[in-house]
Amino acid sequence: MLTQDPKTGAAPDLEAADLAARNWRWPVPGTLPIGSEAHRDAACQMFFDTFNPYRPSVIDWPLLSDEARARLISLPIWDIAVQTEGKARLRMRAYAQSATDPAWRDAIERNAWEENRHKEVLSKLVSAYGIALAPEPLYHPPQDPEWAYLVTGFSECIDSFFAFGLFDVAKRSGFFPPELVDTFEPVIQEEARHILLFANWLAWQRRQLPWWRRAWFELRVAAVWVFLAWERIGLARGMATDGGAAADNNFTLTGSRSVSDVDIGVVSLMAVCLAENDRRFAGYDRRLLRPTTTPAIARLVCWLGSARERWRGKPSGRDHSEGLPR
């Protein structure tokens, strides 16, 4: 749980900060044409206004039972999580420094800072619970900042979507104490803000480019998705010599068994992810764009799952999260 600063004695109004991080309206009424200056200003202002000022150094990590601690330690995510935050910070900063528009530059620079704060939260957590990490690799600034930002942004769109669902499953399963779940809540919501910013940057960027540069940009976006599919779905699994690393990368797709004792299945997990995705974005101005690709794939998986059940003569439209406490 996030507590007051022991040095200054200041007690931040955590509830107000949390509320402000989840709810935001652009005060100017009317439409917000995508690609306009107003659209850019709204997206960047959202990012600054919803900043949550929590400090990793004063997080009060709750005491865990031996069982809960063993479960936490056994999650196969800690190395990849720390390294992903480290890489995201560097890549976002590199893109921010290369950006010509000062509003995006400042917002993406702030995003990079927040990734570093996530890394700090994780490093405090692993030391609080005695989780052993592999030595971190050296992080190198990317040669191609735009490509690196696209890879990081779309990766976050995929990972955050599944993290929303897995976090809800973990919360409802009672596999981890509520205090620990509460401690991570601001970090998960922060990822929702990050992908909200990315989705709006992407749409804005598309509208700014002349057609010949736009065509090249779209090719790069398609190539990023191919790269991520190669990485995530494991089309080149045979090339992976480290099975552990492959499992870590796919945790967001396969992790429900690690955070609950209910095997809810892929279709059910997608349904939970979709519901949580809607809930986490519900408080932000409807005129800002939301990430769409991963939710669309999840909706397709749900539709295929329902069609398969109907074909087998089973009732469709059941609650996919059945088995989990409310």
Cα 250 → chain centroid: 14
Q: What number of residues does the chain have? A: 326
Residue 87 or 287: the one with the smaller Cβ distance to Fe ion is: 87
Say if residue 41 is exposed, middle or buried (CB neighbours under 10 Å; 0-12, 13-18, 19+). Answer: middle
Query: What does residue 53 show for φ and ψ, rounded to 5 degrees?
Result: -85, 30
The whole-angstrom separation of Cα 191 and Cα 141 is 22
What is the nearest approach in angstroms of Fe ion to the Cβ of residue 85?
A: 5
The whole-angstrom separation of Cα 188 and Cα 114 is 12
Residue 191 or 248: the one with the smaller Cβ distance to Fe ion is: 191
Q: How many CA atoms lie within 13 A of 293 on its CB side?
A: 18
The correct pick among 118, 172, 193, 280 for binding Fe ion (CB under 5 A) is 118
Using CB under 5 A as the binding rule, whether residue 119 contacts Fe ion is answered as no
Stretch touching Fe ion by CB under 5 A, among 40-48, 89-97, 147-155, 183-191 = 183-191
Residue 86 or 295: the one with the smaller Cβ distance to Fe ion is: 86
The whole-angstrom separation of Cα 302 and Cα 310 is 12
Residues 187-226 vs Fe ion: string with x where CB under 5 A?
----x--x--------------------------------
Residues 73-112 vs Fe ion: string with x where CB under 5 A?
------------x---------------------------
Q: Per DSSP, what are the bridge partners of residue 284?
A: 24
Residue 91 or 194: the one with the smaller Cβ distance to Fe ion is: 194
Residue 32 or 196: the one with the smaller Cβ distance to Fe ion is: 196
Residues 143-162 vs Fe ion: string with x where CB under 5 A?
-------------x------
Residue 156 or 168: the one with the smaller Cβ distance to Fe ion is: 156
Type and span of the H or E element at 254: helix 251-254
Residue 27: partners with Cβ closer than 8 Å, 6 or more residues away: none
* Interface contacts to Fe ion, rule CB under 5 A: 85, 115, 118, 156, 191, 194
